[in-house]
A and B are shown apart, each in its own frame.
Chain A
Amino acid sequence: MRRFSSYRVAAIAGVAASAMLLTACGSDSNSTTTPGTSGSAGSSSSGAAGGSGLKIGLAYDIGGRGDKSFNDSAALGLDNAKKKYNLPDSDVKELEAAQGEAEADKEARLTQLADNGFTTIIAVGFAYADAVKAVVAKYPNVKFAIIDDNSVQAPNLADLTFAEEQGSYLVGVIAALKSTKHSVGFIGGVNVALIQKFQAGFDAGAKAADPSVKLTDKYLTQPPDFGGFNDPTKGETAANGIYDAGADVIFAAAGGSGSGVFKAAKAKGALAIGTDSDQYQSAADDVKDVVISSMLKRVDVAVEKFIDSVKDGSFKAGNTVFDLKAGGVDFATSGGKIDDIKAKVDDFKSKIIDGTITVPTK
């Protein structure tokens, strides 16, 4: 018995040590990311570049380029800007976050970018809030932007946020109109304020389109466990539960876990709605037809506009909200599954834009 407990102590120590070391290791394993392949369009003419004065550093959230969602959207904005200003690869640097990394790793990533001479730095994701706060004052000549956060204010920091509730409201309308059982579900990746905003908009939109609709919600993990954005099997299990309980449309605001929701929808003969990017385009071929729409969060628009503002000197510190009006959020129509109700949804959209409808954020 005594040796058994010493074994347990050793095991626990090992687990703890591994967790700490894993995070430590995570940061440097990611520090060598080269700009992705989709930037090749810009680099083909990169010989003629230079003199633009832009040196852009981008720090991704967990998932990085290739997450088929949030980060990819930021990458698209970067690629567009790169093409527009003819930037050579050496003037753009992208770094990724690792699963379960420490706060210090995020800080180190931003510091590394600033120290390497990148003067336009974009932190993708609210997870960077504390890191930005710690770093922003040390580099007054660097223009920072943080996506999805408005908690830090500085003269050289732009807080770029989105009116996710407005886009979610519209897909809520779509879900309710497409539900034959008058029951729709919401799956959030992690139970944080940002994702709750999605749910608030979605619920309001569904209720507006069909007052009798039944709403069900589920968050895959609770902070500080952010694995809910990255676990398709959890998404699938939760979606099956909600479909079994009678819903026939689910809005998946769960990052990479969304593919599990689509898989469940396919197996149940039900429907699903994606998030951030147009997931009809990126979903696996065999589940494409269940993705009737996506809540588009145009991180690419925000990133590109921010780079524009640095370039032309119109940089504005503080909060900028990218809403429906500004083209920061929208709904996707690819696949043609919502052509029959598009007019109704557009009607709601114009009412939100002209202020007739105010969408709740909580």
Chain B
Amino acid sequence: MSTATATVTGPDAAPRRRGSRLSPPLLIAFALGAFLVLSAVRAFTGGNDLTSSGTIAAGLSAAVPIGLAGLGGLWSERAGVVNIGLEGMMILGTWGCAYLGWDHGAWAGLLFGTLLGALGGLVHAVATVTFGVDHIISGVAINIIAPGLALYLTKVTFVHYPGGGQKQSPPIGDAGSITLPFSDWLHTVEDKHWFAVSDLAGVLGGLVTRLSLVTLLAALVVLASAWILWRTAFGLRLRSCGEAPHAAESLGVNVYKYKYIAVIVSGALAGLGGAALAIAAHQFRDGQTGGRGFIGLAALIFGNWRPGALAAGAGLFGYTDAIQLRSSSAVHPLLLLMAIALALVAIWQWRTGQRAIAVVAVVIAVLAVLWYIDTDRVPDELVGTTPYVVTILVLALASQRLRMPKADGRVYRRGEET
């Protein structure tokens, strides 16, 4: 993956090299270390929900809509179009999914939700690419129009059907799920609460028990996006439109066409995310997206405009959100976990010369430890903020070398290089 990138982003290769990217073995070692720390904290604090299969499963399903929205943002921004309208396109997806989903089944709904999302993307593409409207303004407009439109359509379509209402659809059927045969055995191991072994069983159990087919589809979409954007000539051209559109133009790339494709795919993915949310909730409800499109955008920045890291960001958000929802008391051990993570960040930042950040990290880590020792539980009023706090800490302290596509957010006009 890294070699392919270096060839495209020639002008930026120098600053990029400084932030030496993690090689696969290092990444595995890092993940293993994080897992062992997690196990240790779980065993030490008795906060068994930290690695329970229930938490992992809930985190995964919470991450799917966010990750898909973020992936939508990735496609669009890699082609140089900022898509702040993800939330609106997601709402179109939730409504579309319910429209066909309630009587034709979840998969028909998923398809139609994706289609409506793509339509939202098309509107954004026409406005930003053809008419050169500021990307933020167009996106905001879509975020305003979409909920109103969905609400209006709900009143027109769902009111007379059983279970439908002014602000909700009739129930949508299930999309189906798979449970691997050894999941019962994993649950048995998980319940022993052995260090590391039970934790591993919990994580695996969460992944293979009643795994929604929609989640599986989302994972495939992430892999497919990574492959298309970084391993094909099409992807190379698309990303060149986000880095240096005029250079791409001089080499014969039809920048308009690629931007159109990217933004429409972006809308489709956001719509798919919305549809996944509606299927998980078993219905469309007005306002059910609750800002997940914006969180997807945050996951995109968190992931440094790359699919793998973006998925990790969505996963982290989903995981922390699942923990705080499942059990308020499990947030307390999370303080300790946070302190350890911050201490590691501090060491790493100190060694790379970012001393100020290291000091801040240490201070927060110490405060977290003191808080942990001094209390039995985190107040309910703060528990709900867990995923946001974690996201902000990671963005502020650990990801200092974010680099957005170079021409992201700029209006492109053929032959008018400035």
A67→B167 contact, CB < 8 A = yes
B128 at the interface (CB under 8 A from A): no
A244→B326 contact, CB < 8 A = yes
B381→A230 contact, CB < 8 A = no
Cα distance A349–B157 in the bound complex, in angstroms: 42
List the one stretch of A49-57, A153-161, A235-243, A298-306 in contact with chain B: A235-243
B168→A256 contact, CB < 8 A = yes
B168 contact set on A, CB distance < 8 A:
66-68, 256
**Cross-interface CB contact of A11 among B136, B137, B152, cutoff 8 Å:** B136
Over the window 263-278 of chain A, the binary record of Cβ atoms lying under 8 Å from chain B Cβ atoms (1 yes, 0 no) is: 1000100000000000
A240→B290 contact, CB < 8 A = no
A256→B285 contact, CB < 8 A = yes
Q: Which of A225-257 contact B (CB under 8 A)?
A: 225, 227, 230-234, 236-238, 240-242, 244-245, 256
**Cross-interface CB contact of B402 among A4, A37, A98, A233, cutoff 8 Å:** A4
B84→A18 contact, CB < 8 A = yes
A3 contact set on B, CB distance < 8 A:
404
**Cross-interface CB contact of A284 among B49, B82, B163, B325, cutoff 8 Å:** B163
Cα distance A29–B147 in the bound complex, in angstroms: 10
A37→B160 contact, CB < 8 A = yes
B19 at the interface (CB under 8 A from A): no
B139 at the interface (CB under 8 A from A): yes
Nearest CB of B to A351, in Å = 32
A93 at the interface (CB under 8 A from B): no
A205 at the interface (CB under 8 A from B): no
B82→A66 contact, CB < 8 A = no
Nearest CB of A to B61, in Å = 7
List the one stretch of A140-148, A167-175, A215-223 in contact with chain B: A215-223
Most A CB within 10 A of own CB, among B62, B139, B287, B288: B287
B280 contact set on A, CB distance < 8 A:
233, 236
A241/B325 contact (C-beta < 8 A), A66-B167, A221-B384, A231-B290 known: yes
B136 contact set on A, CB distance < 8 A:
10-11, 13-14
Using CB atoms, name the residue of chain A closest to B168: A66
**Cross-interface CB contact of B281 among A10, A66, A232, cutoff 8 Å:** A232
Cα distance A219–B325 in the bound complex, in angstroms: 8
Interface SS, A side: helix
A66/B282 contact (C-beta < 8 A), A99-B287, A237-B322, A241-B325 known: no
A335 at the interface (CB under 8 A from B): no
Cα distance A22–B85 in the bound complex, in angstroms: 13
A232→B283 contact, CB < 8 A = yes
A64 at the interface (CB under 8 A from B): yes
Nearest CB of A to B204, in Å = 17
**Cross-interface CB contact of A10 among B58, B210, B285, B409, cutoff 8 Å:** B409
A17 at the interface (CB under 8 A from B): yes
Q: Which of A1-32 contact B (CB under 8 A)?
A: 3-4, 7-8, 10-11, 13-15, 17-18, 21-22, 25-26, 29-30
Most B CB within 10 A of own CB, among A10, A99, A231, A233: A233
B277 at the interface (CB under 8 A from A): yes
Over the window 65-83 of chain A, the binary record of Cβ atoms lying under 8 Å from chain B Cβ atoms (1 yes, 0 no) is: 1111000100000000000
Residue contacts A-B, CB under 8 angstroms, 7 given? A7-B82, A7-B408, A25-B144, A65-B166, A66-B166, A237-B321, A256-B285
Interface residues, chain B, CB within 8 Å of chain A?
Answer: 49, 52, 54-55, 58, 61-62, 82, 84, 87, 136-137, 139-140, 143-144, 147-148, 151-152, 155, 159-160, 163-168, 171, 210, 277, 280-283, 285-288, 290, 294, 297, 301, 321-322, 325-328, 380-381, 384, 402-404, 408-409
A14-B137, A222-B381, A284-B163 known; 16 other A-B pairs, CB under 8 Å?
A: A7-B408, A11-B136, A15-B84, A18-B143, A66-B164, A67-B165, A227-B290, A230-B286, A230-B288, A230-B290, A232-B288, A237-B62, A237-B322, A241-B54, A244-B49, A256-B285
